[in-house]
Amino acid sequence: MTTTTKVILGLVGAAAVGAAVGMLLAPEKGSDLRKNIKDSAGKWSDKLSDMWQNGKKTAEKASSRIQTEM
């Protein structure tokens, strides 16, 4: 794993832990907290999926450009 990958994974992990601790310490009813966690997880999933698709498209474009230049 490269240093950049380690840093990115560390930041994502720290953000996830921070969000979880913040939700657990929030003065909300349990049912409201579970709903918020479910909604947040869905949003994170959608964002990660979009990021993955964008990265995949970028990699395919770069690969195509390299192949045409050779």
The 10s digit of each residue's pLDDT in 4-32 is 888 888 898 898 888 888 877 877 787 88
The residue count of the chain comes to 70
Distance, CA of 60 to CA of 47 (rounded, Å) = 20
The pTM for the full model equals 0.48
Distance, CA of 26 to CA of 63 (rounded, Å) = 47
Q: What is the pLDDT of residue 44?
A: 83
